[in-house]
């Protein structure tokens, strides 16, 4: 069974309704205009319809996360049904999701924690993974995360953080930071310690995000919180490193807190419209929570449009946004373009700028973790930039300078990888090569023990034998080999070559090769009878090796290769006639034995 042709990340927003009126909400008036009763009635059926449509289209939602608005404004019975749907989806696709490297079994929810206490048992029953949104410092949670009636609820938030600390399943905290949040970094640090030590929540499990301009928020509220500039982001990064390096929260600092700005996140995709989608309860599909409600990031509707059309629309619209704003000049030559891909398309649209709004922060991360985020340089960087621009900004590729000529390199024919041109296929298709490469036609006898000789370029392992002066060494071969590719067997020879592993460079190729020590031939009619039977012949090698003993060096391997004179000639003729054979049999392909000869033992 094959994996689905396309895995995707799916956010599901069953309702845009929210029980808070956060001053910086990017959804504008959508949260107050949502019709909760209508959303509740269709929440489960829309998700069920979408998952079925994805399955039928061969698309696997490997991650289904519930987002808002605020999901917990839905009745508990609706939440129970949604959680059951997600769990059943994960179980139905358990093998495929696991094969992709994911370990999804429990639903995941993004929540403001306002209704956490009454829903605790339901969450625990379904083992729901929870991401809780708060403001840091907590004094700004009180100021900007107020109820629809305008009341602050910091004390309740802290109580629910205590409950979350004791919650037995996966959980984390996320905090969105604007310029005002970074105006008092010491207070922010103090509250991280307060939540960790006083409320008992492990603050290693935290994600930080940065606010960006929102057209919908500006229209609804005038956008009261200014985004933090890049200098302020860097100041926070440096301050957190100074405060938490070497503490029990160093793991969070290094691994989780700034995870949104790493290549694993959607914000760093070449084209997020190929992988990330947000589905609303009314069936509408948008890019993500950042693009929710913006027509430029609306991909279609699962009730009226085929899945393939929606996916194609997403890729096309994201590509158009990136191309609309082009590529910043300094991105062209940046060694980290492969990690950043110039940033989030939605934020580019909201800011009307071409590059990531967290560029300097990302560069600090890449600098501090060079093995996780290696920088490309020189030709590698230029080549990646050309490939990236060709894909993401094709109009810019027209005016790009031609790449420098490639350095001299081995260029193999593209059809070398075709099965019919593989070495074993070439051998199987040529009866003479079958005989040349036979693994049952040569035996070397060492003191009464036999070693079958195989082609040195076909066998999977290499053994090395030790030979002493006075050892009995005999070569046995099938007599029928002497008639292969030879019209008069009497003219054929057993052809031996002995090489030593002391490399030399010679010939027009200037290749480094084993040094040749000697070549020896014995005519067919001068071979002895073999004890292996009438179909075998024998050659005593002990005197030959003893004669050349001064050439053997202690600790250096020697290589004995054996064939017949006519098979050797056929091998070289085949190399001339067939380039595929020549490339793969460029080293001597004959049966061999590697050995040490201990002359001073």
pLDDT confidence tier of residue 268, bands split at 50, 70 and 90:
low
pLDDT confidence tier of residue 144, bands split at 50, 70 and 90:
confident
Is residue 382 a part of any domain in this protein?
no
Report CA torsion sign: 212, 213, 214, 218: positive
Q: What is the DSSP string of 378-445?
A: HHHHHHHHHHHHHHH-HHHHTTSPPPPPPPS-----GGGGSGGGSHHHHHHT-HHHHHHT-SSSEEEE
Residues 565-594, mean pLDDT to the nearest whole number = 93
Over 60: is that where the pLDDT of 3 sits?
no
Domain boundary among 370, 393, 410: 370
Quickly count: other Cβ atoms within 10 Å of residue 401's Cβ. Answer: 7
pLDDT at res. 366: 92
Is residue 206 a part of any domain in this protein?
yes
Is residue 84 a part of any domain in this protein?
yes
Residues 442 and 365 in one domain: no
Whether the predicted model's global pTM rises above the 0.75 cut: no
Q: Residue written as tokens 């907590």?
A: 138
pLDDT at res. 339: 87
Q: By residue range, what is the domain housing residue 169?
A: 6-370
Average pLDDT, the chain: 90
Residues 361 and 439 in one domain: no
Over 60: is that where the pLDDT of 2 sits?
no
Q: What are phi and psi of 580, to 5 degrees?
A: -65, -40
Q: How far is CA 481 from the centre of its chain?
A: 51
Q: Residue written as tokens 């939540």?
A: 195
Residues 428 and 358 in one domain: no
Residues 187 and 322 in one domain: yes
Token couple for 169:
């399943």
**Angle, helices 76-92/116-125, rounded to nearest 10 degrees:** 30
Distance CA 127, CA 83 (A): 9
Residues 358 and 280 in one domain: yes
Is there a contact between 463 and 469 (Cβ–Cβ < 8 Å)?
no
Token couple for 179:
């310029």
Residues 329 and 438 in one domain: no
Quickly count: other Cβ atoms within 10 Å of residue 113's Cβ. Answer: 24
pLDDT confidence tier of residue 360, bands split at 50, 70 and 90:
very high
Radius of gyration in angstroms for the set of CA atoms belonging to the chain, rounded to a whole number: 36
Is residue 397 a part of any domain in this protein?
no
pLDDT confidence tier of residue 262, bands split at 50, 70 and 90:
confident
Residues 353 and 430 in one domain: no
Is residue 398 a part of any domain in this protein?
no
Domain boundary among 334, 355, 370: 370
Domain CATH number, residue 45: 3.20.20.70
Over 80: is that where the pLDDT of 222 sits?
no
Domain boundary among 332, 354, 370: 370
Question: What does DSSP say about strands 473-478 and 464-467: parallel, antiparallel, or unpaired?
Answer: unpaired
pLDDT at res. 336: 92
Token couple for 151:
């009341």
Q: Strand ranges (DSSP E) for 238-297?
A: 276-280, 284-286
Residues 424 and 366 in one domain: no
Residues 174 and 313 in one domain: yes
Question: What does DSSP say about strands 511-523 and 493-506: parallel, antiparallel, or unpaired?
Answer: antiparallel
Q: Tell me which residue of 293, 365, 283, 304 sits closest to 51, measured CA to CA.
A: 283
Quickly count: other Cβ atoms within 10 Å of residue 14's Cβ. Answer: 26
Distance CA 483, CA 230 (A): 81
pLDDT confidence tier of residue 220, bands split at 50, 70 and 90:
low
Q: Which residues contact 14 (CB under 8 A, 6 or more apart)?
A: 39, 43, 44, 46, 47, 66, 71, 74, 78, 82, 280, 281
Distance CA 71, CA 352 (A): 31
Q: Residue written as tokens 């609820």?
A: 153
pLDDT at res. 1: 44
Q: How far is CA 275 from the centre of its chain?
A: 15
Token couple for 406:
């490639």
Residues 331 and 471 in one domain: no
Is residue 386 a part of any domain in this protein?
no
Give the SS3 label for residue 276: strand
Is residue 389 a part of any domain in this protein?
no
Q: Which residues contact 184 (CB under 8 A, 6 or more apart)?
A: 137
Distance CA 457, CA 471 (A): 28
pLDDT confidence tier of residue 183, bands split at 50, 70 and 90:
very high
Residues 314 and 428 in one domain: no
Over 50: is that where the pLDDT of 538 sits?
yes
Q: What is the DSSP string of 291-334?
A: TTT-GGGEEEETTTS-HHHHHHHHHHHHHHHHHHH---HHHHT-
Is residue 321 a part of any domain in this protein?
yes
Q: Model confidence over 372-423: pLDDT tens digits?
A: 889 999 888 888 888 888 888 888 877 666 666 666 666 777 787 788 999 9
C-alpha separations of 205 from 163, 254, 258 in Å: 15, 11, 11
The angle formed by the CA atoms of residues 280, 284 and 289, to the nearest 5 degrees, is 55
Q: Model confidence over 420-466: pLDDT tens digits?
A: 999 999 999 999 999 999 999 999 999 988 999 999 999 877 788 88
Give the SS3 label for residue 71: helix
Token couple for 190:
């103090």
Token couple for 255:
């691994």
Q: How many domains does the chain have?
A: 2
Distance CA 133, CA 145 (A): 10
Q: Model confidence over 317-351: pLDDT tens digits?
A: 999 999 999 888 888 889 998 888 888 888 888 88
Q: Model confidence over 56-84: pLDDT tens digits?
A: 999 999 999 999 889 999 999 999 999 99
Give the SS3 label for residue 465: strand
Q: Model confidence over 542-579: pLDDT tens digits?
A: 999 999 999 998 888 999 999 999 999 999 999 999 99
Residues 284 and 363 in one domain: yes
Burial of 251 (0-12, 13-18, 19+ CB in 10 A): middle
Q: For the chain, what percent of residues have pLDDT higher than 90?
A: 62
Burial of 10 (0-12, 13-18, 19+ CB in 10 A): buried
């Amino acid at each position: 069974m094959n994996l689905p042709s396309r895995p995707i990340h799916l956010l599901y927003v069953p309702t845009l309704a929210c029980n808070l009126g956060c001053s910086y909400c990017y959804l504008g008036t959508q949260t107050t205009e949502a019709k909760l009763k209508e959303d509740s009635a269709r929440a489960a059926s829309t998700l069920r319809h979408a998952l079925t449509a994805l399955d039928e289209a061969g698309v696997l939602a490997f991650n289904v996360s519930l987002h808002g608005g605020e999901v917990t404004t839905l009745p508990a019975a609706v939440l129970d049904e949604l959680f059951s749907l997600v769990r059943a989806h994960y179980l139905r696709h358990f093998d495929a999701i696991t094969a992709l490297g994911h370990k999804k079994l429990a639903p995941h929810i993004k929540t403001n924690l306002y209704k956490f206490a009454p829903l605790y048992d339901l969450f625990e029953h379904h083992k729901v993974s929870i991401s809780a949104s708060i403001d840091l410092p907590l004094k700004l949670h009180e100021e900007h995360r107020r109820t629809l009636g305008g009341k602050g609820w910091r004390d309740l938030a802290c109580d629910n953080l205590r409950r979350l600390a004791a919650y037995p399943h996966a959980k984390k905290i996320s905090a969105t930071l604007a310029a005002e949040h970074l105006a008092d970094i010491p207070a922010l640090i103090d509250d991280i310690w307060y939540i960790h030590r006083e409320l008992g929540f492990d603050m290693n499990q935290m994600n930080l995000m940065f606010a960006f301009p929102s057209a919908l928020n500006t229209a609804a509220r005038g956008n009261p919180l200014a985004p933090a500039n890049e200098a302020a982001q860097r100041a926070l990064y440096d301050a957190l490193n100074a405060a938490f390096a070497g503490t029990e929260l160093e793991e969070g600092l290094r691994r989780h807190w700034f995870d949104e700005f790493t290549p694993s996140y959607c914000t760093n995709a070449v084209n997020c419209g190929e992988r990330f989608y947000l589905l609303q309860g009314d069936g509408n599909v948008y890019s993500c929570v950042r693009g929710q409600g913006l027509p430029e990031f609306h991909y279609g509707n699962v009730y009226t449009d085929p899945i393939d059309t929606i996916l194609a629309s997403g890729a096309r619209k994201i590509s158009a946004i990136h191309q609309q704003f082009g590529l910043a000049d300094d991105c062209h030559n940046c060694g980290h373009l492969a990690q950043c891909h110039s940033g989030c398309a939605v934020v580019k649209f909201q800011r009307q700028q071409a590059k990531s709004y967290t560029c300097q922060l990302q560069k600090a991360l890449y600098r501090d973790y060079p093995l996780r985020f290696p920088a490309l340089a020189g030709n590698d960087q230029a080549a990646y930039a050309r490939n990236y621009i060709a894909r993401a900004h094709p109009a810019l590729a027209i005016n790009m300078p031609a790449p420098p000529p490639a350095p001299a390199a081995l260029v193999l024919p593209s059809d070398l990888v075709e099965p019919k041109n593989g070495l074993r296929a070439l051998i199987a298709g040529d009866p003479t090569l079958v005989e040349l490469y036979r693994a049952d036609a040569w035996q070397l006898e060492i003191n009464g023990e036999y070693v079958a000789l195989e082609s040195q370029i076909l066998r999977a392992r290499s053994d090395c034998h030790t030979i002493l002066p006075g050892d009995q060494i005999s070569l046995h071969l099938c007599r029928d080999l002497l008639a292969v590719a030879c019209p008069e067997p009497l003219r054929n020879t057993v052809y031996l070559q002995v090489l030593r592993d002391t490399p030399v460079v010679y010939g027009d190729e200037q290749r480094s090769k084993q040094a040749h020590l000697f070549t020896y031939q014995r005519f067919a009619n001068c071979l002895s009878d073999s004890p292996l039977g009438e179909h075998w012949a024998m050659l005593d090698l002990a005197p030959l090796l003893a004669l050349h003993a001064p050439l053997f060096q202690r600790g250096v391997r020697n290589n004995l290769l054996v064939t017949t004179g006519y098979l050797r000639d056929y091998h070289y003729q085949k190399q001339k006639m067939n380039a595929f054979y020549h490339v793969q049999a460029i080293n001597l392909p004959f049966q061999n034995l590697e050995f040490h000869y201990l002359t001073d033992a």
